[in-house]
Structure 1
Amino acid sequence: MSGAQVVAGGGDFRPRVEKLLTDILGLMGFPARLDLQDATDGSLSVALHFESGTPPSVEPGKRSQVLDSLQFLLNKMLHRPGVERRWVMLGAGAHPEPRPRRDAAAQQQAAAAAPVTSVAQAAAATPAQPPARAAAPAPAAQPQQRNARGGQPAQQAAKPAQAQAPAKSAEADERTLQVEEDPAFREAVRKLAEKSASLGRFYAFAAMKTEDRARVLKAVEGVGGVKVAAEGEGRNRRVVFTPAKPAPMPKRSLLPDDDEDDVDA
C-alpha cells in the first residue's frame, strides 16, 4: 500500500454518513429524513427532519446536548486512522450555522503583528524600586506578669468565658421526647425486639429521624431479653438491638436467614 491518505470527502463519504446516521437514529427510535449539503467552511452539513417527532430535549433550529453527543459519536466513527478528517455538522429541522474557525495563516499573521518587547525595554519601563529597609529587630519577650494574688498569668485570666464552653452539645435523649404513637409501627418494632431476644441476633435502625428513634425506644418498653438504645452522633446515630443472650452465627452460611431455628446454642 502507498502512504497516501484516503480523502474523507471522497465518493463513499456521503453514503457512509447516511448509513451510519440512519442506523443510529433507527436504534434510538427516532427515524429521520436526511438532507446533506456542503457547508461554506468545508464541513458536511446534515439537516435531520424527524418523521415521528423529535427526541427529548431537541428543538428544531436549536443546538442541544443530544445532537452534540450524536455529532461527536458520528465523527469519531468516521475519522479512522489514515483518513483525512472532514467534520460533519448536525441540525434539527434545518442546517446548522457553520462555526467560525481561524485558519493557521490568520493565527500566524496575528502573532507576527503582536509587538515584541525586549528585555531592555521591559527593564526601562519598570520604575526603579527604593531599597528595602532592614527589618526592625523583634522586641524582647516580656516576662509574664502575675496577677495581684500570685495566681495564673493575667493574660490567661483575661480569656473570654465562652472559650471554656463545650464545643458541641450532647445528643438529645430520644426517650424524653413526646411523639405521637403509630400502632402499626409499634407492633412491627416489638416483633423485631422479640425476634432479637429469641434468636440472639443483633439488629440496628440507621438513617432515622429523631422522632422515629423516639417511637422505637418507646415501643420496646416491657420487652424482655433485649436491650435497645440509641448510639452514635449526627448522621451516624442509630438504634441498636442487643440481645441478652447472643447466639453465634450458623457455621454453614455467613449470611443465614433470620427465620432459621437451627441456631447453635
Structure 2
Amino acid sequence: MSEQVPQQTPSAPAPDASSGEFRGRVEKLLGDILGLMGFPARLDMKDAADGSLSVALHFEPTPPPGVEVGRRSQVVDSLQFLLNKMLHRPGTERRWVMLGAGSHPEPRQRREPQAAPAQAAAPAAPTQAAPRAAAPAQAAAPAQAKGAQRGAQASAAKAAPAPKAASEGDERSVAVDEDAALKAAVRQLAEKSAGLGRFYAIAAMKLEDRARVLTSVEGVGGVKVTAEGEGRNRRVVFTPDKPAPLPKRSMLPDDDEDDFDA
C-alpha cells in the first residue's frame, strides 16, 4: 500500500529547516527571559502576513504587573525590543518577532510616504487698482527710509562694545594691602617649589588675593609665579626653573608590571 502525501496549499507553505531553527531560538530565549522574570508563559507562534513571527504569550498563572490580556504595555514592548536585539546578530537570519499578551498582536502597518507639499499659489495678476496705490506708496517711501536709518543707528548703538572692566590678567597692577600671614605662606611655597623642582598651583582665589600672592613672591629666586586661566578656573602657578622628575615610587606602575619595588 502506497502512503499518500498530503498536498500543501500555496497559502500555507511548509516551514523549512531555517524557520524551525529560528522558532527554536525564539522559544529558548523567551523561555529563559520569562523564567528569570518569574512569569513563565505558554508560547503560541504563527507566521504573520508581513513576514514576521507572531507570538502570543499565555502567562501561567497570571501576567506580570502592568500587563493586560489583549492590550499593549511597556513590559511587553520592552521584552519584544530585547528579544529582537538578541536575535538580530551579524550572520544570523533577520526576522522580526512580535509579542502579544494573551493573543497575537496586530500586524505592523507600513508608513506610506508623505505627499509633497502643495505648491504655493501663483501671485495674482495686477489689477487696475495698482496704479492708484503706487502714488501713496511713493509718498511713504521717504518716511520709511528715515525709519530705516533710525533703526540702523539704534542697532549700531546696541552693537557697540561696552567699556571693558578691569581685566583678570592685571593682578600685578591692582593695589592691595599686605597680608603678613599670606605673604609668609606663599613665599614658603615658592621656596619649596624652587628647592624641590615641583610645580604647584593655588586655585579658587579672588583677584585681590592673586595680586597679594604675586606681590609677596617677588624676590624669590629659582621659581616663576604667574596667573593663568580664565574665570573661575584662573589660578596662580609656581613653575620652578629646574623641574625635577618624580621618584619612581611616587609614579603609578605600567599595566604590564606585576608587583612594586619594596
Query: TM-score, normalized by length of structure 2?
Result: 0.43
Query: TM-score, normalized by length of structure 1?
Result: 0.43
Greater share of residues in helix: 2
